[in-house]
Structure 1
Amino acid sequence: MKEFFSILGGMGTIATESYIRLINHRVKIKRDQDYLNYILVNHATVPDRTSHILNPDKCESFLPYLIDDIKQQNKLDPDFIVMVCNTAHYFYEELQKNSQAPILHMPRIAIKKMTEQYPNEDKVGLIATRGTIADGIYKNEIEKVDKEVVLGGSEIQDLVDELIYQNIKEKGIVDVTLYHRILELMHDNYGVNVVVLGCTELSLAQEKGDNHPYHVIDAQSIIADVTIELATQIRQGQDKNQIIKHYQEV
């Protein structure tokens, strides 16, 4: 197969399914051959990312598992790689060093889109796993564009954990009411007009419960659109290195 990309998924599987659904339904098609060429690696047994980031001495690292995936993909020679897990970007630099293909930096691309869409917002809300909050992936990208990061209090993180782990990861369901409540609290109690969804489970919640009045930056939705644009342009014969560089720049 030529002109294809690889997806490192399974972190978690339901969120990866959401990403696949987005790219399949958003791409413009008139026939079967218009869909995108891709390989999905649904590596569900990758150790929990947040557990390792918060307790690196006690919890197994997920890095070796992802490096193995990258080395397998090197043999297949994809045009680029999408890693549909925000927290896994903790090891982005190490993974890119091991990859022959460029790995799209989902948080960076999402924040670049945020600056284009909401240029006048001085402070930005962020909800994510405790691991993503602790490793500063999104905080660093947001501060690079001179925005203040607002995390909310402990009650916000408790509700986010409940939505991500107790609902989506453990039960495979989305509590839309809970999701809307989190956005409402971030807006009303913490004064943010834009909330970044720094977890693909939260992106799934947005997909299922987008009927709310709040402004969100949905990294998975954004990376789905970028995936389609890149794959389409590469299929049309454009220089993939120049195209990808445009999306990767801050």
Structure 2
Amino acid sequence: MLGILGGMGPMATVDFLRRLVELTPALRDQDHLPCIVAQATGIPDRTRAILGEGSDPLPALEAALRQLEGAGATCIAMPCNTAHHWHGALQARTTRPILHIVDAVADTLMRSRAGDAPVGLLASTGTVQAGLYVERLARRGIACRVPEDQEAVMRAIRLVKAGALAEAGILLSASARSLLASGCGQVVLACTEIPIALRESDPELRLRLVDATEALAEACLRACSRPLAAARLAA
């Protein structure tokens, strides 16, 4: 059973579930992955913690992890990029595999990337400051660039959380186009709020975007579908 450690934010968790359902090649209810969701909205702000301005989220992350374990989750996904700053600490506290969103994005980039152009990164300031993508993608030979106006990206993320999707989309589209104009081959949507605002962006721009939410959903299907199929055959 897939456990989803969510609530960061709630709309992003719902969007992840939607992607998981839409990407599943299902003909009936029983073809979908069984899931349990911890919509853990009380987890302290991850960016504030990384910047030294807020409480440590790890105790609340671990509490949500224990809820998922107790409910029978055998594999864990966190549809929040910034929370992966604590991925190693969480993984050390459980025997259940916790899929890493940056590894999922890296796999997608290795399949879709053409040439050696760097990738742009639209992410929270916490994700940028923690170096989550820069360090992990560098292991695959992929360089990253961040927008010159990172604060505009953070304003957009806050707008998504407040439900102002159209206004957020304008800011994020401008940031993505700026990164592409600077020589980036693709732009990674490295915050799970960002794809929600860019869902209605023009098709030409969408072709150059790599959606971390979708990459994580695909990784979950790869990790969980084979054990599920084996269990059904055994039954």
Same fold (TM over 0.5): yes
Count of residues in correspondence between the two structures = 229
1:187 alignment counterpart: 180
Distance in 1 between the 2:202 and 2:15 partners?
14
| Cα deviation code 1:164-194 (max 9, x no counterpart) | 01x1012353433332222111112x22121
Give the drift of 1:161: 1.2
Task: Give the ranges of 4+ consecutive aligned residues of structure 1 lying more than 4 Å apart after TM superposition.
Answer: none
Does the residue aligned with 1:147 lie in a helix, a strand or coil? Answer: coil
- 1:53 corresponds to: 50
Contact 1:14 1:172 in 2 (8 A): no
- Percent of aligned pairs sharing the same letter: 28
Give, as a single letter, the amino acid of the residue that structure 1 aligns with 2:215.
I
Please report how far the alpha carbon of residue 112 of structure 1 lies from its aligned counterpart in structure 2 after TM superposition. Answer: 2.3
CA distance in 2, matches of 1:60, 1:124: 31
Aligned-partner SS, 2:4: strand
Q: Residues 25 and 112 of structure 1: is their aligned pair in 2 closer, same or farther, counting only changes over 3 Å?
A: closer
Q: What is the match of residue 136 of structure 1?
A: 131
The 3-state SS of whatever aligns with 2:121 is strand
Q: Does 1:89 align with 2:107?
A: no
How far, CA to CA, are the matches of 2:99 and 2:202 in structure 1? 25
Aligned to 1:78: 73
Deviation at 1:210, TM superposition (A): 5.7
Deviation by residue 1:18-44 (Cα, 9 ceiling, x = unmatched): 111111222222222222200011001
Q: Name the CA shift for 1:78/1:143 in 2 (closer, same or farther; >3 Å).
A: same
CA distance in 2, matches of 1:170, 1:149: 29
In structure 2, the residue corresponding to 1:7 is in which secondary structure? strand
Partner SS state of residue 37, structure 2: strand
Which residue in 2 is equivalent to 1:203? 195
The yes-or-no answer on 1:173 pairing with 2:165 is: yes
> Residue 152 of structure 2: which of 146, 159, 165 is its match?
159
Q: Determine if the alignment matches structure 1 residue 114 to structure 2 residue 119.
A: no
Q: Give 5+ residue unaligned stretches, structure 1.
A: 239-250
1:203 touches 1:221 (CA, 8 Å); kept in 2?
no
State the partner residue of 2:210. Answer: 217
1:63 aligns with 2:55: no
Query: Match for residue 23 of structure 2?
Result: 26
For residue 35 of structure 1, the aligned residue among 25, 32, 37 is 32
Mapped partners of 2:22, 2:115: distance in 1: 32
Contact 2:5/2:37 (8 A) holds in 1: yes
Partner residue, 1:104: 99
Amino acid at match of 1:141: R
Does the CA-based 8 Å contact 2:76-2:99 persist in structure 1? Answer: yes
**8 Å Cα contact 1:6-1:40 kept in structure 2:** yes
- Whether the aligned pair in 2 keeps the contact of 1:7 and 1:82 (CA below 8 Å) is yes
Provide TM-score, normalisation by structure 1.
0.85
Cα distance, 1:44–1:101 mapped onto 2, change above 3 Å = same
Q: TM-score, normalised by structure 2?
A: 0.90
**In the alignment, residue 54 of structure 2 is paired with which amino acid?**
C
- Looking at structure 2, the residues matched to 22 and 136 of structure 1 have their Cα atoms a distance apart, in angstroms, of 26
Letter in 2 for 1:173: L
Separation in 1, partners of 2:37, 2:139? 32
Deviation at 1:108, TM superposition (A): 1.5
**Which residue, out of 5, 8, 14, partners 2:5?**
8
Relative to structure 1, the CA distance from residue 98 to residue 143 in structure 2 (aligned partners, 3 Å threshold; closer, same or farther) is: same
**One-letter amino acid of the structure 2 residue matched with residue 221 of structure 1:** E
Is contact 1:71–1:98 with CA below 8 Å preserved after alignment? no
